[in-house]
Amino acid sequence: MVEGTARVVTDPGFADVESGEILVSPTTDPSWSSIMFISAALVVDIGGALSHAAIVARELAVPCVVNTKTGSRCLRTGDRLRVDGTTGTVTVVERAAEPITAYHGGDET
């Protein structure tokens, strides 16, 4: 189980992720590795026990919750999260004071 700050990323090429943040993304593939290696936990919309995110998380020994379906749309950068990989739960401990505008490769959200 890990508690930390969420960083919602939709494009790994335009991400400014700090070490120890919790990566929240729609999906992952090998191009996400540099971000995953510094993340404290992973929360991914699509995937299962044999998905890229789950396998990398096991190799890195970090909590991972996959198949959230809407995590990258419901969670916000700056939210304080608790990720429990054993139970597969993501808890919002505290919402970010204000949504943080982030660049996602062509659109601002």
108: β partners: 103
Characterize the bridge pairing of strands 64-65 and 80-84: unpaired
Give the other-Cβ count within 10 Å of 1's Cβ: 12
Close Cβ partners of 17 (under 8 Å, ≥ 6 residues apart): 7, 9, 23, 35, 38, 39
The residues assigned a catalytic role are 52
